[in-house]
Chain A
Amino acid sequence: MLVRSEGENFSFGGDIMTWPDASVRELRARFSHYMSVFNRFEHLPLPAVAAVQGLCFGGGLELALRADVIFAAESATFGHPEQTLGIVTVPGGIYRVAERAGRSRASEWALTSETVPAATMERNGLVNRVVPDADLLKESSDFARKVARGPTRAYAAHEALLHAWAVGSVAAADEAMFDIAMPLFDTDDARRGIRSAVDSLNAGRASPVMDFNGH
């Protein structure tokens, strides 16, 4: 799955125009809904790639952070402008930045609302790959398409393991491991993949690239 935006910017973030006239109760209901929808994105059982160009701020960054892999155009910039409004990263930004880039960076960027270049985000692990602006669509689409042709049941299982680790710990992920992993051994992809690798080893040749079907 690929998530991208039309135009010069991925997203400036939340549309704040109606916020001043809304009650805190209304805003809470609204933001709670936003978070649950964003989290559904995070939990979709398929690999998700976000392609980011231009500005990726606030809620836009929080949406991109729900993807498994982030590609960024060279000129893309990221930031949490919330402190300029006197609020926090409501749909769950700061700790998702910390999860990828570390706590000290997450604090710094949230405290300063500074505009962070794509290259810095890549160096700190928030962005997977920075590509030339003109190549963003092709590079991110090619990657998403290649992944979509892979053993996607295994990818979903890897995502589930990372979620178990993120909400718990290494020990929690170990606890979940076999319930998540063992059904894979009954999949067509794994049966053929393992058989092919063993046959190749027995024949003394390199394993061929498998034609996985997602079943």
Chain B
Amino acid sequence: MSHLTVSFDDGLATIVIDRPPQNRIDDQMVDELARAFTAVERSDARGARAQ
């Protein structure tokens, strides 16, 4: 089971933490956050480009 989802909609990136009921942070969630941040960096989400 993944602990979060990442989605892109019209320039907005959304990360939803989804590990009910307490949404506690463990190794898996941190690894998924890292992948989500990479996905956001590589996306065309507005502003997600290097200066």
In the complex, which of the residues A145, A155, A157 contacts B10, with contact meaning CB atoms closer than 8 Å? A145
Given contacts A6-B16, A37-B30, A149-B11, contact A1 B23 (CB under 8 A): no
A148 and B12 within 8 A (CB): yes
Q: Which residue of B lies closest to A91 (CB)?
A: B25
Q: Which residue of A lies closest to B25 (CB)?
A: A59
Return A61 CB to nearest CB of chain B, in Å. 11
B48 and A44 within 8 A (CB): yes
In the complex, which of the residues B14, B29, B41, B50 contacts A4, with contact meaning CB atoms closer than 8 Å? B14
For chain A, the count of residues having a C-beta within 8 Å of the partner chain is 46
B17 and A3 within 8 A (CB): yes
Chain B neighbourhood of A150, CB < 8 A: 46
> What's the count of A-B pairs with C-beta under 8 Å?
124
B45 and A8 within 8 A (CB): no
A41 an interface residue at 8 Å Cβ cutoff?
yes
Q: Which residues of B contact A (CB under 8 A)?
A: 10-18, 20-27, 29-30, 33-34, 37, 40-41, 45-51
Query: 13 more A-B contacts (CB under 8 A) besides A6-B20, A141-B14?
Result: A2-B12, A3-B14, A5-B23, A11-B22, A15-B24, A37-B30, A40-B34, A144-B14, A148-B10, A148-B12, A150-B46, A153-B49, A153-B51
Q: 20 A-B pairs, CB-CB below 8 angstroms?
A: A1-B14, A1-B15, A1-B48, A3-B15, A6-B20, A9-B21, A11-B22, A12-B23, A15-B24, A30-B27, A37-B33, A37-B34, A40-B34, A44-B48, A46-B47, A47-B47, A59-B25, A148-B46, A150-B46, A156-B47
Q: Which residues of A contact B (CB under 8 A)?
A: 1-15, 18, 30, 33-34, 37-38, 40-41, 44-47, 55, 59-60, 63, 141, 144-145, 148-150, 152-153, 155-157, 160, 180, 183, 214
